């Protein structure tokens, strides 16, 4: 008989990969199993995400999370102790009820998620079941198509570029292992090109991407395209490009796009024209947050213009929130949704957005945060939820590689029985409308 009733909840201040405090938590069940979770944190945060509770004051520059930790060990522990951790929906409902606000403003989304994740991991530990198997049952593991960060800008790299990330997508790979090898080849080639151009490839951004002043945003896209060519891969057939604009960071109050690195200001139609021109010149298959989080009209226009044969991915637009996703579906905004558990606050809420996306014909893409941790559970969620795509960061920094390594292990463990999502995982308006 399984013994998965929650008997203990502990928490402490931990650090994320940027050295900022975050919440660490252990949940123990009565069979002896335990789960340990450390909550990630984003630098580029949508305003509609659940609340990330910080202490303020002088300690850690205001970023301390002692209050969130106390909320875990006090209010939240009392709410879940005695519940069956295997009933994740009931655990998460109790956590949300204890907070009592939609955005988890009272106790903090970082506090709530710490308990939610740790409870799920405790069940995996107690049942001696890999987390992905606990989530997916007996289905063959589906390894996701990776998006691997090559060049970074925006809030992840001191504003060297206005856009946030340019990534390689190994669309022609036949396995996850081959996809990672091809991504490594492209990043290495881009780093060599950067050195030849007078840059320094040793400088990396929050997610491990190359960080350098390149003169223009298009230059960042071009560097990755040239990296694909130099790596010996065929552009578009073997490897393609994803661009994360993170438009919230570059949108002025009047709605115009401010390209500070280029000393230009563009209207929404002008910006869409610019991105469309990039798509004509480079093998771009995914564009994330092309416009700001509340520009629903502009998003619909961009999706109509750019979405045929291409993925329009909403992050700040949807913030892993089912109500915002439903509005996007109704408005024709985007065709894919980024899934970040800490935007939603609980495991159950994030999983609900994955289900709602599939029901609407939108593609879910699971994602790490810029301030992430040395844990691999996100990789298991990608396989267990069969999202088909994952966006973790680059191929340096251990909080990134731990997730890639976990996926490589899962594929190796299952050999030929493992499936790889490949190019077909990408969203495409022309497919979605059929």
- For the annotated catalytic residues, the residue numbers are 207, 340
Are the beta carbons of 239 and 170 closer than 8 angstroms? yes
Q: Name the E strands within 270-371.
A: 284-288, 311-314, 336-339, 363-367
Residue in this structure with the two tokens 């045929």, named with its chain if needed: 308
Opening angle at CA 397, ends 392 and 399, nearest 5: 55
For residue 75, give Cα distances in angstroms to 23, 100, 269.
15, 12, 49
Are the beta carbons of 12 and 37 closer than 8 angstroms? no
Rg (CA), the chain: 21
Contacts of 416 (CB under 8 A, 6+ apart): none
Strands 21-29 and 34-38: what pairing?
antiparallel
Strands 257-259 and 165-169: what pairing?
unpaired
Residue in this structure with the two tokens 């109050």, named with its chain if needed: 253
Q: Which residues pair with 14 in a beta bridge?
A: 22
Q: Quick one: CA dihedral 212, 287, 145, 339, positive or negative?
A: positive
Burial (0-12, 13-18, 19+ Cβ within 10 Å), 138: exposed
3, two tokens: 């013994």
Which of these, 9, 259, 247, 32, lies nearest to 127 by C-alpha position? 32
3-state secondary structure 227-255: HHHHCCCCECCCEEEEEECCHHHHECCCC
Cα distance from N-terminal residue to C-terminal residue, the chain: 48
Burial (0-12, 13-18, 19+ Cβ within 10 Å), 174: exposed
């Amino acid at each position: 008989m399984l013994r998965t009733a929650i008997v203990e909840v502990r928490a402490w201040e931990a650090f994320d990969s940027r050295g900022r405090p975050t919440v660490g938590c252990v949940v123990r069940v009565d069979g002896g199993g335990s789960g340990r979770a450390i909550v990630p944190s984003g630098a580029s945060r949508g305003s509609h995400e659940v609340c990330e509770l910080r202490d303020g004051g002088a300690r850690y520059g205001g970023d301390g999370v002692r209050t969130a930790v106390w909320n875990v060990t006090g209010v939240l522990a009392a709410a879940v102790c005695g519940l069956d951790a295997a009933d994740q929906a009931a655990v998460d409902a109790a956590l949300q009820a204890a907070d009592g606000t939609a955005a988890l403003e009272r106790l903090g989304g970082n506090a709530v998620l710490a308990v939610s994740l740790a409870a799920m991991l405790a069940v995996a530990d107690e049942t001696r079941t890999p987390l992905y198997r606990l989530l997916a049952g007996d289905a063959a593991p589906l390894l996701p198509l990776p998006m691997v960060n090559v060049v970074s800008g925006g809030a992840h790299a001191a504003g060297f570029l206005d856009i946030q990330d340019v990534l390689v997508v190994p669309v022609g790979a036949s396995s996850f292992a081959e996809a990672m090898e091809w991504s490594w080849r492209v990043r290495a080639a881009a780093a060599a090109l950067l050195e030849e151009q007078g840059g320094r490839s040793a400088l990396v951004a929050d997610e491990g991407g190359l960080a350098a002043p390149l003169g223009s945003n298009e230059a960042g896209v071009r560097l990755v395209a040239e990296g694909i060519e130099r790596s010996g891969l065929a552009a578009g057939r073997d490897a393609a490009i994803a661009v994360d604009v993170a438009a919230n960071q570059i949108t002025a109050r009047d709605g115009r796009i401010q390209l500070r690195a280029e000393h230009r200001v563009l209207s929404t139609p002008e910006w869409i024209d610019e991105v469309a021109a990039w798509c004509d010149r480079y093998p771009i298959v995914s564009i994330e947050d092309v416009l700001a989080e509340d520009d629903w009209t502009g998003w619909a226009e961009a999706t109509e213009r750019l979405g045929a044969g291409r993925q329009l991915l909403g992050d700040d637009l949807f913030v892993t929130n089912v109500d915002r996703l439903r509005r996007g579906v109704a408005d024709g905004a985007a065709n894919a949704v980024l899934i970040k558990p800490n935007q939603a606050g609980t495991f159950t809420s994030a999983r609900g957005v994955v289900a709602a996306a599939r029901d609407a014909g939108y593609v879910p893409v699971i994602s790490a945060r810029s301030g992430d941790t040395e844990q691999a559970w996100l990789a298991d969620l990608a396989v267990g939820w069969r999202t088909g795509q994952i966006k973790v960061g680059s191929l340096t920094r251990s909080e990134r590689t731990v997730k890639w390594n976990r996926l490589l292990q899962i594929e190796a463990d299952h050999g030929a029985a493992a499936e790889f999502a490949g190019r077909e995982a990408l969203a495409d308006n022309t497919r979605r409308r059929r």
